[in-house]
Copies of this chain bind each other. A is one copy, B any other.
Amino acid sequence: MTIVHSSPSVEAAMQHFNVKNATAIQVGDLYFFSGLTAIDLVSLEISLADVRTQARLTLENFDAILDDLNLSLDHVIKVNAQLADVGEFAAWNEVFLDMFDAPYPCRTTVGAPLVAGDIEIEIVAASSARR
């Protein structure tokens, strides 16, 4: 098992919110991640932009975390997204199709009241890539 702590900027953002979970934990060929919402890693604030921008920022933050692990969005096998407003599915779907490349990962999207922001994304990654 390897417990992944993030880059100083992600760690700073988490401390800002008194959140101390691991960023990711690897067991064998699988990497489990904590859910992320759209945190601006410069201001350490939750993005107030529209859901499309928040979704992109959240996936970019995952991409940076994956990069620290010598992985990329191509290693993601599962995406769970929760939208504050399920009516925004089309916007989220567009970002998903744009940020990932085919063959796409598995995905489930539902609505949920969120602690912060308008989209919460959780991923599972594997040590080998989808493509």
* Chain A residues within 8 Å of B, Cβ to Cβ: 1, 3, 5, 18-25, 27-30, 32-35, 77-80, 82, 86, 89, 93, 96-97, 102-115, 120, 122, 124, 126, 128-130
**Of the residues B80, B112, B120, B130, contact of A25 by C-beta under 8 Å:** B130
Residues of B within 8 A of A106 (CB): 21-25, 32-34
**In the complex where A86-B113, A110-B113, A120-B110 touch, is A105 in contact with B1 (Cβ < 8 A)?**
no
> A28, B25: Cβ atoms under 8 Å?
no
Number of copies: 3
> A104, B22: Cβ atoms under 8 Å?
yes
Q: Which residue of B lies closest to A130 (CB)?
A: B3
